[in-house]
Structure 1
Amino acid sequence: MTSRAPVVLGLCSGTHDSAASLIVDGRLVGLVEEERLNGEKHTRAYPEHAIDWLLDRAGLVSEDVSSVAYNFSPSLYMRGVVPSLAYLAPPSSRRRALARARSFHTVYRRASERLADLAHRFPLARVSGVAHHRAHGIYAFTASGYEDAAVLIVDSLGETVTTSIAHARLHGAGLRYRPMHQITDPASLGYAYGAVTQHLGWRRGDEEGTVMALAALGDPARFRALFARAIVLTEDGFALNPRAFPLRVISSRYSRLSQDFVRMTCPPRAPDSAVESVHADLAAALQERTEQVMVHLARRARTLTGAPLLCVGGGVAMNCVSIGRIVEQAGFDEVAVPPAPGDAGTAAGAALAHHLDTSGVLASGAARRCYLGPSFPRIRLPKHPRRGLAAHTITDPTRRLAHELAAGRIVGVFQGRLEAGPRALGNRSILASPLLPDVVKRLNSTVKFRESFRPFAPVALEDKAADYFTLDQPAPFMSIASGVTELAHRTVPAVIHANGTARIQTLTRERNPFLADVLAAFAELTGVPVLINTSLNIKGKPICGTPEMALDCLAESGLDALLLETWWVDKE
């Protein structure tokens, strides 16, 4: 068929976290991360599976796409070329200046080639790039459902920008998005956190959350003075000290930490070696400084915009402890983080921004929504879908799941539409009772196969959350670390991390009626309206986006069972 209405395809492709989104008739059809369909975590692949699903859901074909919005604007990379030559003067950066200039030109060329490739794939469409932080910001604001808010974006690098503050306000059917302040590279909080993550033996761009968890076990005092010198607060934001973080060159051949930094901390840790106290102390000091910088930036956003509400996006917004500090200390009435604050979300942001710029209308369908991917309601399974697995249909999935959880079983859940973003929010989750002895140890060692110090997040009905958690605002996307109450310490210590916080997901029946019913049924059986909710995957693999991936997860892990729509799959 041929669509006469604008059809805008938003893409993140060729860089980490490939994703696609689609706007048809002024409404967001969906947002899908390619990794959930191709099985390659943080894939850079062209998101063909995601695009195919989106077009099929809308009843369209590729020729119907009128616009393709890419999540970077290639020409903006050129702003990094000439300014890089200024670093020829200081001795600390002289050896990297020319390489830095060349690297920005190389990334400009590669991004331009991606736009040309998209123009070849969609010859009938208008193809354009959207400034990366604009894509982040418009998505973060639109997903919040707010009408007027400050927007703070903090990541590693978007063209040449690393941090931005804007004021967003709905205006009729449209949106006024007013940039207020930008911080450009080499001042990058995401770059610094990633550099230390890699030094500590984990993958930057992937396992920063592991470092955040490790920080709770360390003493920040050991390296506090070092980070105060390495990441310097300024009136307008912050700066990186090149004596600790050498001038960025966009190439993996150049180290991200100086030899002075290594000498003053510890040698690089091998990924398979033991985690020692020095590693925990280094993580703790990094995390403490990150929280201080994030609160400082949020307060700056409050001053510049005067808005009582704040939206936070970008990769650093996934640091839930920092978001918790902002909630407590930055002076906003409420803080929102979108379900996909990282680059995958900019696929939706690029589409929203392009639709706004060309039509004057802010597309609907993104506000407070996270379940934006594929569903498989009519799946059929054989009696033995995998060797050692047995499947049968059940008539009351909610009650069955609640009883199994109350009995101590750990169950994977595959229900409804796939979540967008890094957190499983009930549709592609592993659920467990927080009342089980050693449940955290069991989940880490036999189900998720990850570090023993990693915590697990709780989910609770929004109207019951205050009994267990001190956060006084909604947290629908599991984005904010909250303090806990004495009742939580007594009844559900399994969901409390070593720093005394829990990354809570607050749930309403309107957002997820199935999970809400499970929580209510579990509370009837146990007296506790809280469950452990972690993503349906094992370490190194993406959240399961297809039934086949979910069955593999059951077969390859210590999960006891899998609820796959109306199918109950057990291990024989």
Structure 2
Amino acid sequence: MYILGLNAFTHDASAALLCDGKIIAYAQEERFTRLKHDPSFPWNSIQYCLNEAHISLKEITVAAFSWSPFHKLIPRFLKTFYNIGGGIPRLKSQGSKWLDIINVKGILEKHGFEGKFYYVPHHNAHAAACFYSSSFLESAILVIDGVGEHATTSLYHGKANSINLLQQYYYPDSLGLFYAAITEYLGFKNNDGEGKVMGLAPYGLPEYYNKMKDCLFLNQNNYKIDTSYFDFAHRWFTKKFEKEFGPARIENEPITEHHYNIAASAQKILEEKIWHFCQELKRITQSDNLCYTGGVSLNCQANHFIWSRKDFKTYYFFPAAYDAGTSLGAALFAFKDILNCSDAYSFEHVFWGPAVEKKHGALLAQQYSLHVQESNNLYEQIARIIAHGKIVGWCMGKTEIGPRALGNRSILADPRKPEIKDIVNNKIKKREPFRPFAPTILAEKAPEYFHTKEPSPYMMMTLPIAPEKINEVPSVVHVDGTCRVQTLERQFNEPYYQLITEFHALTNVPMILNTSFNKAGEPLVSNEQDSILSFINSDLDVLVLAGLIITK
């Protein structure tokens, strides 16, 4: 039985394919179109999934879409019109999106689809992707994003082959939209710059915490957005907000201490409220496990905050927690909750996207007049290149799912060299200098640097580094003494593990600086041409493509 999961028309369109409950392929449309967060119908991703299974759309048994167009939309439209002030233009814009969603089955049928079709409520898709990809047979589940059809925060209890909704909070009362508004206020773009706000926060102090908290009417068990401060339909924040907190920063203006403190205050509010939801879930479910997902769960600092409170024994953060992951969630929800199938599902790794091939890479490199070399000791040679201060583009095997490079589409550098951070930010990534970089560390060595055995395979949590290790790896330590760490086990990614093992043998440092292989504003590179063009148009020193060593 083949199940095709889809997400489209909002942002981060994607497709996932299951065969008898096991993942065959997954792809995000932006990786093909090169348009970051591309919302268009994911035909490229669908075709990739079908090709991986050697089937046609006609052979799909079930298709599931990660939005339900009739799920509590009327209350959201009314609130948009009356409370948020979007008016008729906003309603027309939203209505057009939902008309596209209503027509999804018809779009598929025009191209040969003959199977059953299901709409899956958006937060159900988030919850299913997280819970069914975890190793838990039972777990509390927390979903927090900007907004689904109407829900903004959802609490579930997952048991074996079903997820049960416990509580929901609705638009416009949204932690995700609150943080997006702060993102816009600080001069960054919502749905893209929230990570920048997270990176800014440790530079400041939460001096505006009490005043900002009043904007949310926070209490232990509930919260409300004061819409006199926020306008999610237009400018995100109102003149009243600016009167309280000062004029908004315009893009490219200098970042001041005031901006650092605004970010720190918003971050503290976010962390505390997420923790309140965790406490509520623990009280209701009495579970030892927590699955946490939705776009807000990409905030690594907040994840560390709730993990450090230890309300649960085990935490699982889904790597594709944003909307791109809901295509997989829709497929899994259809398989488990709708069709009541009980087959075991195993999420063994994250490398489900298009692969790069050595032959094609060599041909393209020659067309661009690049030098190509094959090596019998690839990992040792590249480890030496990195240890000598060179910066390497690393494009191997299949693309990872999610927004973060986990060792197959990465830019790699030496974490020991303090100047590397500025070089990568300014000359290669071309992004703001305050943004930190992550280390990938051999899992067995992580306790020596982070004083915990907690695995972090998907780079979803910051951890404080041991003080005596800060000067050893300064280019991956943020201003607050934390690292957004990826712990790596051999079976997760053998080639990447071998490279870091060789680097460890050369330097006695069991980690490497790892950042996504892309420039600011672009998606991760996906295929051979993406990586070669990115290499040519940047100051990268070396490109490793499908095992080939390529230089200019």
Q: TM-score if structure 2 supplies the norm length?
A: 0.95
Secondary structure of 1:177's aligned partner = strand
Cα deviation, residue 137, structure 1 = 0.3
Find out whether 1:215 has 2:205 as its counterpart: no
Residues in 2 aligned to 1:113 and 1:56: alpha-carbon distance in whole angstroms: 24
Aligned to 2:119: 129
Q: Classify 1:178/1:553 alpha carbon distance in 2 versus 1 (closer, same or farther; 3 Å).
A: same
- Cα deviation, 1:198-222, whole Å, max 9, x if unaligned, reads 121111001110111011112211x
Residue 260 and residue 560 in structure 1: after superposition, are their counterparts in 2 closer, same or farther (change >3 A)? Answer: same
Which amino acid in structure 1 is aligned with residue 178 of structure 2? Answer: A
| 8 Å contact from structure 2 (residues 76, 150) kept in 1 | no
User: Per-residue displacement from partner, 1:421-447 (whole Å, max 9, x unpaired)?
Assistant: 011000111111101231111110111
CA distance in 2, matches of 1:114, 1:392: 47
* 2:38 is the counterpart of 1:43: yes
Tell me what 1:230 maps to: 215
Q: Match for 1:357 among 323, 333, 337?
A: 337
Does structure 1 residue 321 correspond to structure 2 residue 301? yes
Q: Is the 8 A contact 2:202 2:480 kept in 1?
A: yes
Secondary structure of residue in 1 paired with 2:372: strand
1:484-517 deviations in whole A, cap 9, x for unaligned?
A: 1123213112211112211110110010111111
Residue 224 of structure 2 aligns with an amino acid whose one-letter code is A
Deviation of 1:361 after TM superposition, in Å, equals 1.8
* Structure 1 residue 287: Cα displacement: 1.0
Deviation at 1:120, TM superposition (A): 3.1
Give the alignment partner of residue 178 of structure 1, picking from 138, 148, 164.
164
Q: Which residue of 31, 38, 45 maps to 2:26?
A: 31
What displacement does 1:117 show? 2.5
User: Which residue of structure 1 aligns with residue 485 of structure 2?
Assistant: 504
Whole-Å separation in 2 of the counterparts to 1:22 and 1:383: 30
Identity within the alignment, %: 30
Q: Deviations over 1:134-188 (max 9, x none)?
A: 0000111122222221110000011000001111122xxxx12111111111110
**In the TM superposition, what whole-angstrom CA distance separates every residue of 1:406-430 from its partner, at most 9, and x where no partner exists?**
1111101111111000110001111
Q: 2:313 aligns with which of 302, 311, 333?
A: 333
Deviation at 1:113, TM superposition (A): 3.1
Structure 2 counterpart of 1:179, one-letter code? L
Determine the structure 1 residue equivalent to 2:182: 196
- Measure, in 2, the Cα distance between the counterparts of 1:263 and 1:349: 42
Partners of 2:13 and 2:324 within 8 A in 1: yes
Q: Does the alignment pair 1:547 with 2:528? A: yes
Q: Distance in 2 between matches of 1:189 and 1:438?
A: 36
Task: Return the offset for 1:386.
Answer: 5.8
Distance in 2 of aligned mates of 1:316 and 1:471: 24
**Secondary structure, counterpart of 2:276 in structure 1:** helix
CA distance in 2, matches of 1:290, 1:377: 43
Distance, in Å, in 1 between the alignment partners of 2:97 and 2:500 is 48
Distance 2:473 2:134 in 1: 30
**In structure 1, what residue type is equivalent to 2:547?**
T
Whole-Å Cα distance in 1 between the matches of residues 281 and 150 of structure 2? Answer: 20
CA distances 1:369-406 after superposition (whole Å, capped 9, x unpaired): 21111212343314854646322222222112111111
- The aligned runs of 1:42-81 (5 Å cut-off) are 42-80=37-75
| 1:281-329 C-alpha deviation (Å, 9 max, x unpaired) | 1111111111111111111111121111111100000000000001001
Of the three residues 342, 351, 357, the one matched with 1:371 is 351
Deviation larger for 430-439 or 263-272: 263-272
Aligned to 1:140: 130
1:467 corresponds to which letter in structure 2? E
- Residues 312, 97 of structure 1: alpha-carbon distance in 2 compared, 3 angstrom cutoff: same
Native 8 Å contact 2:9 2:97 kept in 1? no
In structure 2, the CA distance between the partners of 1:448 and 1:101, relative to structure 1 (3 Å rule), is closer
Q: Are 2:8 and 2:39, in contact at CA under 8 Å, matched by a contact in 1?
A: yes
Gaps of 5+ in 2: none
Question: 2:156 matched to which residue of 1?
Answer: 166
In structure 2, distance between residues paired with 1:271 and 1:73: 36
Q: What is the TM-score when the length of structure 1 is the normalising length? A: 0.92
2: CA distance between counterparts of 1:45 and 1:417? 23
CA distance in 2, matches of 1:330, 1:84: 37
1:97-496 alignment runs, 5 A limit: 107-170=97-160, 175-221=161-207, 223-246=208-231, 248-249=232-233, 254-362=234-342, 364=344, 366-380=346-360, 381-382=362-363, 384-385=365-366, 387=368, 389-496=370-477
In 1, are the aligned partners of 2:221 and 2:276 still within 8 Å (CA)?
Answer: no
